[in-house]
Amino acid sequence: MLKADAPHALRDCHSYVEKLQDVADELPLAGATQRDSYRRLWLIRCWIIHSLRSQGHPRLVVGNDAVKHIAKTFPDSNEHLPALLGAQRGRWCARSPLGRKLRKLSYSDAPEYLSMHACLFFDTTVTSLLRGKPAGWLTKHRQGLVDMRDAYYRKHGVYPHPAVLLGMFPPSHA
């Protein structure tokens, strides 16, 4: 199973996740023995991403997939996706196309990272820091933040958490 090709379309991922869950049931994954544990879902997302990239796919293909497919496939322990993608009264709109929602959000990264990005940007430290800034601050300082983010990446090999990035920004630019 682990050598099997991962699907490159979102609509096919949920069944693949179920197959990976069955494999994981047989492995001693410390801290990830429960099917719904965040760590296990995170490991499965990592495996899907690894499989996609190793097959030369830069991202999942969304097509006309409904928003509910992303929630079924990728971990969202803080449940940011329903609010972000427009669930009605806590229920997913079964026919609402994910691609349209992502375009409306101007989201251009790979859809498999959406729940991770939502978690990072809805972080209470990030939202508190941003609420303390005047209107238009983020737009005004976008390029400076991008430059600092890229410098951090060059130095550390990973991008900084948004709260770390905001904390690094010079106070003179507040």
Q: Where exactly are the structural domains of the chain?
A: 10-121, 124-173
Q: Which two tokens stand for residue 161?
A: 């958490």
Residue-averaged pLDDT of the chain: 81
Q: What is each CA distance from 152 to 109, 124, 146, 168, 171, in whole angstroms?
A: 19, 22, 10, 10, 18
Of the pLDDT bands very low, low, confident and very high (cuts 50, 70, 90), residue 93 is low
Q: What is each CA distance from 154 to 57, 157, 167, in whole angstroms?
A: 24, 6, 18
Residue 170 has pLDDT above 80, yes or no: no
Who contacts 1 (Cβ-Cβ below 8 Å, separation ≥6)? Answer: 19, 20, 22, 23
Alpha carbon distance 136, 40 (integer Å): 39
- Cα distance from N-terminal residue to C-terminal residue, the chain: 52
Model pLDDT, residue 25: 86
Alpha carbon distance 135, 132 (integer Å): 9
Strands (E), 108-170: none
- Type of residue at 33: T
Candidates 98, 84, 162; CA nearest to 130 is 162
- Residue 3, CB half-sphere, CA atoms under 13 Å: how many? 0
Model pLDDT, residue 90: 55
Stretch among 4-8, 37-41, 170-174 having the lowest mean pLDDT: 170-174
